């Protein structure tokens, strides 16, 4: 018999055989499996054909197993137990979970997330490790290829088979150095902002086509960079200004040397969604789901201005 030939065997017969062996009674085996006595008798007839053996003989107080039946039971019960474990609901045991999660994000997000995340893992899942990569234009390709577990980035755009969850909504602010003329302002108008010399922090994965409309009128920048340290140095030492996130600006390099000024409320500048992205292949994976929930819980947990969302999944 080949493996594919097992498709011709009704696996319920094996469960019926196990009940007959343990009860040594057609009536009791039928009751145990919530079946009828005639149905169990039919199962016994089919089992005799399948194994080419009488299997059971009748005696005054029920059934007596043949040597072949006893041999089958010794072989079959461990197999049935293995199948039972195979189809049982998966349980997530954090203390023994061994897995490395790879994440890609920009440095300020890493600065706010990694410390509380590592602290939580050391206490609750000590064998779980992390691999953090800088966000790049090709990071989404790595996510699709299965080389990343998560991306944290801004916006709503995602390819097919990529799920996302909102982590927070960031309010854009004007980030300047402490000696900049705008530094003493409690708020800044859009007109004041666009008159300044700008740093364009090029967020990986974004292009001119998916920039918000209100950013389109900003003049050509004096500096373009995808390096946050370079951007913050230009702000603190070069009298330039930059668009930043209200919460993320607190975790950027040299954050203590820069000033985040909100835009005037009359400008109605919309918030920007920060999202967690992952591939569909991991959507129902228990440990992956646990990590998604944990990231959502801990993002900005050390930030006094945090306004975390409940996190919708779609």
Q: In angstroms, how far apart are the furthest CA atoms of the chain?
A: 104
pLDDT exceeds 80 at position 310: no
User: Going by CATH, does the domain composed of 99-163+274-298 fall within 3.40.190.10?
Assistant: yes
Confidence of residue 102 (pLDDT cuts 50, 70, 90): very high
pLDDT at 123: 95
Residue 309 has pLDDT above 60, yes or no: no
What is the pLDDT at residue 210? 57
Which ranges in 93-167 belong to alpha helices (H)? 107-124, 139-144
The mean pLDDT value of the chain amounts to 88
Residue 176 phi, psi (nearest 5): -135, 165
Distances (CA, A) of 111 to 69, 183, 224, 257, 298: 65, 24, 22, 16, 12
The whole-number pLDDT of residue 308 equals 39
What is the mean predicted confidence (pLDDT) over 227-238? 91
Domain with CATH 3.40.190.10 in the chain: 99-163+274-298, 172-270
Compare 291 and 155 and report the one with higher pLDDT: 291
Comparing 89 with 49, the larger pLDDT belongs to 49
Do residues 193 and 241 touch, judged by C-beta distance below 8 A? yes
Identify the DSSP state of 139: H
Provide the pLDDT for residue 302.
67
pLDDT of residue 209: 55
Which of 109-113, 115-119, 306-310 is the least confident region? 306-310
Mean pLDDT, range 215-224, rounded to an integer: 82
- pTM, full prediction: 0.75
Q: Contacts from 67-72 at CB under 8 Å and sequence distance 24+?
A: 69/17, 69/21, 70/21, 72/17
CA 179 from chain center: how many Å?
42
Mean pLDDT of all residues in 187-192: 92
What is the C-alpha separation between 292 and 84, in angstroms, rounded? 29
CA atoms within 13 A on the CB side of 58: 5
Question: Where do the CATH 1.10.10.10 domains begin and end in the chain?
Answer: 3-87
Residue 120, phi-psi category: left (phi > 0), alpha (psi -120 to 50), beta (remainder): alpha
- The DSSP symbol for 303 reads -
Banded model confidence at residue 304, pLDDT cuts 50, 70, 90: low
More confident residue, 209 or 56: 56
Question: What does residue 302 show for φ and ψ, rounded to 5 degrees?
Answer: -100, 10
CATH number of this structure's domain 3-87: 1.10.10.10
Q: Please give the residue that has the higher pLDDT: either 220 or 132.
A: 132
Its CATH class, for the domain covering 172-270, is alpha beta
Q: How confident is the model at residue 206 (pLDDT cuts 50, 70, 90)?
A: low
Confidence of residue 183 (pLDDT cuts 50, 70, 90): very high
The values of phi and psi at residue 263, to 5°, are -75, 150
């Amino acid at each position: 018999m080949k493996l594919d030939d097992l498709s011709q065997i009704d696996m319920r017969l094996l469960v019926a055989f196990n009940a007959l062996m343990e009860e040594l009674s057609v009536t009791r085996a039928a009751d145990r499996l919530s079946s009828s006595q005639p149905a169990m008798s039919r199962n016994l007839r089919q089992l005799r054909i399948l194994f080419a053996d009488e299997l059971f003989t009748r005696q005054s107080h029920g059934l007596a197993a043949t040597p072949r039946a006893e041999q089958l039971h010794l072989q079959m019960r461990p197999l049935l137990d293995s199948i039972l474990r195979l189809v049982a609901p998966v349980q997530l045991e954090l203390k023994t979970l061994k897995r490395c999660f790879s994440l890609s994000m920009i440095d300020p997000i890493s600065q706010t997330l990694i410390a509380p995340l590592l602290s939580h893992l050391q206490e609750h899942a000590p064998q779980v490790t992390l691999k953090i990569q800088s966000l790049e234009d090709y990071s989404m390709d790595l996510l699709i290829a299965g080389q990343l577990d998560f991306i944290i980035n801004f916006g709503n755009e995602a390819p097919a088979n990529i799920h996302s969850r909102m982590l927070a909504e960031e309010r854009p602010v004007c980030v300047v150095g402490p000696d900049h003329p705008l530094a003493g302002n409690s708020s800044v108008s859009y007109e004041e902002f666009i008159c300044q010399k700008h740093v364009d922090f090029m967020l990986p994965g974004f292009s001119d086509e998916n920039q918000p409309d209100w950013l389109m009128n900003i003049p050509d920048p004096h500096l373009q960079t995808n390096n946050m340290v370079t951007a913050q140095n230009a702000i603190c030492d070069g009298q330039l200004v930059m668009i930043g996130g209200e919460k993320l600006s607190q975790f950027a390099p040299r954050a203590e040397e820069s000033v985040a000024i909100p835009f005037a409320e009359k400008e109605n500048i919309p918030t920007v969604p920060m999202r967690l992205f992952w591939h569909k292949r991991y959507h129902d994976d228990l440990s992956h789901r646990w990590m998604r929930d944990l990231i959502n819980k801990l993002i900005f947990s050390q930030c006094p201005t945090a306004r975390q969302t409940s996190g919708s999944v779609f």
